[in-house]
Each structure stands twice: as C-alpha cells, then as structure tokens.
Structure 1
Amino acid sequence: MSLAFLFPGQGSQIKGMGAEVFNRFPDLVEQANKEVGYSLSDICLEDPNSQLGQTQFTQPALYLVSYLEAQKHLEDGQSPGLAAGHSVGEFAALAFAGCMSFIDGLRMVSKRGEIMSKVSGGGMAAVIGLDVEVIRSTLTESGIDQVDLANFNSPGQIVLSGPANQIQSILTPLKDAGARMVVPLKVSGAFHSRMMQSPANEFENFLKDFSFSNPNFPVYSNVEASPYQSADAIAPLLVSQIHSSVLWSDTIIRMRNDGADEFLECGPGNVLSKLLRQIP
C-alpha cells in the first residue's frame, strides 16, 4: 500500500500561506522570486496589493507553496508512491515527481495563469447534491448550450463553467431540479471549459520550448484519471487540461485501486482532504 501526495488547485489560496516552508527553503523562494520578477513570497504571506486572488498570481503562488510543502514532507520522511494535483496543482505534482525542474514548472504555471487571466466574461458554479444526468438534462431543457461540466470533484459536487450570463441563468433551474445548493464561484474565468480553447492553443506553443522526463512515481492526469504513461504524454495532456474536465473523483478512485491507502495534501487548506470523504 502507498502514500499519495495531493496538490490543490485554485480556491485553496489564503493569505499567510507558505510561512513555515519559506523559512525552511529560502534558496528556492529566492529563485522563485527572481524568476517571476516580483516577490511571490510577499504575495503569499502579506498580499499587500490584493493580488493573491488574481489568476496570474494565484497559480504561481500555489505552485510555490505546494511544491515546498511536498519537499518538507519528503525531508520529514514521508515519501509518496503516487501523486495527483487538482487543475494547476498537477504542475506541482509533476515537478515534484521529477518530470520538469522546479523553475521550469514555475515558468509554466506563470504563463498558464497569465494566458488564462486574459479571458473575460466567464463564470463557474458548484452544484451540490444533484446527479450528473439531471444536471445535463436541466442544461438542455433550459436552453443552456455553452456551459460545460468542468470539475467532477466528487459524486455530489460538480462544477459548471461557461459564459457568466449562462451560468447566472442556470442557477435557479438547477435548484428547482433538486440541487441542495448551487454556489457561484469567485473566479476570474470559465476554467476547464470551451472558453479556454484559445488559451490552450497559446499554451501549447509555449510548451514547445520545454522538455519533460518520465515521472519517478505515478502521477495521475486530470484529463484521463490515470497515470501519465510517458514523458511524451505530459505536454499534450497539460494543454488539454486547460479546456477539459477535471476528473477528480475518478482519479481518486483509480489511485485507491492502484494501492493508495493514505493521502497527504501538500499545500494550503484542506479542500482535497474534505473531498476524499465524499468519494466512495
């Protein structure tokens, strides 16, 4: 049986994150600040200009904190047998598994955040306690044709993504269909939806300048809910991930079937740890 590391995605960021690990790994923090050209650590710790919630800053900030948290656990004697990251968290998982260097991973998430932040007019909403087929039929019956099912976080929590006006229009029909809650998310774009196709194309061109290595242990892809099979598969799947669904529930089920019996969340908060209890 194996210990699995999990790396959180956007929404887990919180001011003050990273305080312990920044003191423990000052050289890596200095490298990160130098690479991005601003004090990423200050944004994590103090967020003086309220940038932590902006995608172009959130993504590198989460990457830095999550990667260093994993390094801390490794130094403390906890070594993973497998790993996965939710959305942008997948980059920290891959870097920690040796698929790319720490700095290359930071460059990737910085560009990813920058590209994704340019897309406006989108929104997302979490649907709690409604079967996926009922969600699909409600979308169809309501004439909502541009909203995608973005995150399958657990059987009882599915996130929708698409144009903000269509997200707003579907809130009441979903409640009427029996959803326990429908919660609009505080995000700056329609992540993991067809609105992200153009950013994905730009990101594909950006990744052509990077090389990848096979992971030192299995890392599970959001897009396929299965381990990366080779270094060659990494770039195409990271590109697809931007506009595809995050199959998180299936990923956790597959990891358990592959021997994961303990999970450790590497990063701020406990969003993924809470989801574990909702996934049978």
Structure 2
Amino acid sequence: MITYVFPGQGSQKQGMGSELFDEFKELTAQADEILGYSIKRLCIENPYSNLNKTQFTQPALYVVNALSYLKKIQETDIKPDFVAGHSLGEYNALFAAEAFDFETGLKLVRKRGELMSMVSNGGMAAVMGLNEEQVSEVLIDHHLHAIDIANVNAPYQIVISGQKEDIDKAASIFEAKTDVTMFLPLNVSGAFHSRYMNHAKQEFEQFLDTFHFAPLSIPVISNVYARPYSSEVIKPTLADQINHSVKWTESIRFLMEKGQMEFEEIGPGNVLTGLIRRIQTDAEPMTR
C-alpha cells in the first residue's frame, strides 16, 4: 500500500514548481486569474520575498503540490491507497481525493492564507527532545498557560504556539531542560493551530458554507482527528484544523497499523519524509 503525503508551510522555496507551470498552462492561467498575480513569477522569482508571507505561501504551495500530484498520476497512472497532508497540505490531500476541483481548493486556500496572515503578534517554536506529555508538563509547571501545542510532528518534535512574548519567555525555560536538544523559533507571524486562531476559524467557517464538496474517492487522514475524514463533515473538520493541533505523529501511526505501508512526499522538499522516518523509528503503529 502507498500513502501520498503533501507538505505545508515551511516547505516553500524559491524555484519550486519551475518545471510544472509551462506543462500545466491552463491550470497556471486559472491560478493567476483567481489570485490576481502570476503564480509562476511568485514561485520562481520570489518578488519582495513574498513567498514567505502566509497569504502568498499557502496558495503557492497548494498550486505546486497540486501540479506535482497531477504530474505523478500522469506518469504512473497509480492512485494512492491513502492521502494525508500537513496543515495546508491537507487541502492537496482533499484535492487528490476529489472532494473539490483545483479552482475551488485554491479559492479556499487563498482565503485561509489571508485570514491566518491577519493574526499578528504570534509566535511558534519547535521543541526537540521532549514528547508531547513532557512539553505539556513544562507548560503547566512554569505557568505558561497561554501557550498551546500546535503540532505533534514526531514523537520528540513538538511545536508550541502562542503570543510572541510568551514564546520568547518559554525559550530559556525549555533550553534549561537537559533533554531538550533544540528550541527553534519558527519564521511565522501568527500563532497558528492555537486558540489565537479562533476568530479566523469563525470567519473561515462562514466562507466554507458557500461551497459544496463531493464524496471522497480516496481516504484522507485528518490532522485534527488522525483518522480518515468523513465526507459529511469536511467543512467543520477544515474549520477546526485552523485552531486545533496537527496530530501528524498519530496520523502516521494510524497508517503504519494498516500493514506494509510506503509513504511518498508529493511537492517541494522532503520535510515530511524526514518526520515519517523519525516516527517509524521512535513510535509503534497505532493499536486499534
């Protein structure tokens, strides 16, 4: 069995998709029309360093991931058994599963990026060396109640999210712990996947209501539940994803339990490939 996984924010890099835009001219033109700027220029030239600004990063990654998937299907004619995506990448998993077409997915992602980019004064940091429970204990013991766990990327790579000053305060506390191998602030302006995204989630919910989704043709693993999506609850699940943590470790463990599972990353970079390798080394398959 094979699972295709799609990366999210943090995997963007200048030059991504350069070999795809001319091959998929129609979809590239469609993207330009929806976005109001050239997606090819954004990805290849990165004017004004826009590629690292959330409102531009999310549509750019969605487009490159989607075209990478279409190219893969063209070449192999093989549909995966499962699909999953990390945060923004989940939209590509849903696109692959035919929940919506390319255009609809891009409209959703554009709005999501805009709403998330409006949340300022936030910060996120990756804590390496502690597991989720240990990170929670540190937050409780040091009264860092305003910080949430945003991503469980691997058993010993946990991302925390909160107001910038709280994340700055947490740095010295975590760095003082002997088991912490690294405390790495992330290059984001908002506290994604936390309570600070509640307003963005509410606005996105209203926007989602104007769309219709089709039944899924491939099982999609949800970040929020680490279980397959149910076609009836695509809208609330996508809304919840904005202010809930990304259960990446549990999602991969769920898929490992299915038996002989191969994972292939579709899109720029190999961030997820590295995380999956770590999960396979440090965690057991999920028991039913």
- The letter for the 1-side match of 2:219 is P
- In the alignment, which residue of structure 2 is the partner of 1:147? 147
Give SS of 2:11's match.
coil
What is the CA–CA distance in structure 2 between the aligned matches of 1:16 and 1:253, rounded to whole Å? 33
- The letter for the 2-side match of 1:43 is L
What is the CA–CA distance in structure 1 between the aligned matches of 2:129 and 2:172, rounded to whole Å? 14
- In the alignment, which residue of structure 2 is the partner of 1:61? 60
Question: Once superposed, which parts of structure 1, at least 4 consecutive aligned residues long, lie more than 3 Å away?
Answer: none
CA displacement at 1:148 relative to structure 2:
0.4
- In the alignment, which residue of structure 2 is the partner of 1:219? 220
Q: Is the 8 A contact 2:83 2:96 kept in 1?
A: no
- In the alignment, which residue of structure 1 is the partner of 2:51? 52
- In the alignment, which residue of structure 2 is the partner of 1:190? 191
Can you give the 5+ residue segments of structure 1 that lack an aligned partner in the other structure? none
Aligned Cα root-mean-square deviation (Å): 1.0
The count of residues paired between Structure 1 and Structure 2 equals 278
CA displacement at 1:115 relative to structure 2:
0.5
- In the alignment, which residue of structure 2 is the partner of 1:156? 156
- The letter for the 2-side match of 1:159 is V
Q: Is the 8 A contact 2:132 2:152 kept in 1?
A: no
Q: Is the 8 A contact 1:96 1:102 kept in 2?
A: no
- In the alignment, which residue of structure 1 is the partner of 2:284? none
CA displacement at 1:157 relative to structure 2:
0.3
- In the alignment, which residue of structure 2 is the partner of 1:204? 205
- In the alignment, which residue of structure 2 is the partner of 1:79? 79
- The letter for the 1-side match of 2:161 is S
Q: Is the 8 A contact 2:131 2:157 kept in 1?
A: no
What is the CA–CA distance in structure 2 between the aligned matches of 1:19 and 1:263, rounded to whole Å? 24
Percent identity (aligned): 46
**1:90-147 deviation per Cα after TM superposition (whole angstroms, max 9, x unaligned):** 0111012100111000000000000010011100000001132221121122221110
- The letter for the 2-side match of 1:275 is L
Q: Is the 8 A contact 1:4 1:260 kept in 2?
A: no
Give SS of 1:23's match.
coil
What is the CA–CA distance in structure 2 between the aligned matches of 1:160 and 1:144, rounded to whole Å? 11
Q: How does 1:24-43 map to 2 (within 5 A)?
A: 24-43=23-42
- In the alignment, which residue of structure 2 is the partner of 1:262? 262
What is the CA–CA distance in structure 1 between the aligned matches of 2:244 and 2:250, rounded to whole Å? 14
CA displacement at 1:79 relative to structure 2:
2.2
What is the CA–CA distance in structure 1 between the aligned matches of 2:201 and 2:253, rounded to whole Å? 27
Q: Is the 8 A contact 2:6 2:266 kept in 1?
A: yes
- The letter for the 2-side match of 1:160 is I
What is the CA–CA distance in structure 2 between the aligned matches of 1:255 and 1:42, rounded to whole Å? 37
Q: How does 1:244-259 map to 2 (within 5 A)?
A: 244-259=244-259
| 1:16 maps to 2:15 | yes
